[in-house]
Amino acid sequence: MTTNSTLENNGRIEEELPATLGDLTSKYGWTYNSKAKTASLAKLLASTACERQLDQVLRNPVPEEKKFDPFYREKSEFSTLKIIDHLKSRLAAEGIKACVATEVKDNFGVYDVAIVRGSPSLILQNGQERVRIEVKASLGLPLEQIERYLWDPSPLIVVRVVTGHVVLLRRSDVEDFVLFSNRLSIEKAKRLLEGTGFTVPGIYCSSCPDLSCPYNKHSKRSWAGMVKMSDSDYGDDLRSLLRNLPYVAERTSELVIQELKRSKVPVGKNE
C-alpha cells in the first residue's frame, strides 16, 4: 500500500532526477542540435553497470552501429500497425471520434482521441496523454526500457506478440519500485558528476572504449547483424507472430477503451 509519505518522498525524488540528469548533460555536453539528450542518457544509466565505461561513453560518444536485424524491426512496425488499425475500428464502434496523428486538430475539427505512433505509441484524450502502448514483436524485452517508461505517470500497456502477452502496468501498483529506481539513477548520476564511479568488470569489457582500463578486452571482431536460424525456426517465428496478432490487438484495444472510459471520454459520431 502506498502511503502519503511515500508519495511525497517520491515527488521529491522525481524533481531531483531530471535536475541531476540535466547536470550530467551539461558536464558531458551530451546534446544533439543544442538539445539535451536526457532520454538517451537515462537509457545509458539504466543499462550500463560499469560507471568507468559509462564515463568514457559519455565523454567520447560514437555513432551507434547497425547491429539490429531489420527483420525484427519490421515485425515490430508491422505488429504496431495492425494493433493501431484494430484500435481505430474499436474506437469507431464505440462512437469515439479519433485520428492517427501528432496533432489533435486538423481541418475537420478537434478529435476526442489521437493516436501517436512511436516507441511507445501514445493515446491522447483532448491533447492529454492517457495511456501508452509498447509493442515488442520478438522475444527480447529490455526491462530497463520498461523501467524508464514507468517513470511516466500514465498507464503502460506492454505487448509481447510472439508469446501472446498483453499487460497493463499502472505506476501506482509499483510505486515503491519507481522510487527505488529513481534513487539508484540519481545516485549513479551523482557518482559520475563527482568522479567517484565504480569500475565493474564484465563481459562488456570486450567492447569498452576505455583502453587504459586494466580490465579492457577490446576486440575488433565484427558483429553479425543477421540472426541465423533454420527454416523450421524461422517458420515457427512467423507463425507465432501471425497467430498471436489478432488476440493481442483485441486485448490491447479493450484495455485502451477501458482506460478511456475511466477518463470519461465524450462519445460522439465520427464525422
Q: In a 3-state reduction of DSSP, which class is residue 39? A: helix
Provide the whole-model pTM: 0.82
Give the integer Cα–Cα distance in Å for 201 and 156.
34
Q: Is the Cβ–Cβ distance between 118 and 87 less than 8 Å?
A: no
**248 in the same domain as 155:** yes
Task: Kindly tell me if the per-residue pLDDT of 65 is higher than 60.
Answer: no
**246 in the same domain as 146:** yes
**142 in the same domain as 164:** yes
Q: Is the Cβ–Cβ distance between 86 and 249 less than 8 Å?
A: yes
**163 in the same domain as 249:** yes
268 lies in a domain?
A: no
217 lies in a domain?
A: no
Comparing 98-112, 126-140, 163-177, the range with the smallest average pLDDT is: 98-112
Residue with cell 484500435: 87
165 lies in a domain?
A: yes
Q: Containing domain of residue 97, as a range?
A: 70-173+231-262
**253 in the same domain as 159:** yes
**92 in the same domain as 184:** no
206 — pLDDT class (breaks 50, 70, 90): confident
84 lies in a domain?
A: yes
Torsion of CA 181, 142, 103, 130, to 10 degrees: -50
Pairing of the two strands 113-116 and 109-110? unpaired
Q: What is the DSSP letter of 33?
A: T
**55 in the same domain as 33:** yes
Q: What is the DSSP letter of 162?
A: T
Q: What is the predicted pLDDT for the residue at 203? A: 87
Domain count of the fold of the chain: 2
Give the integer Cα–Cα distance in Å for 148 and 168.
15
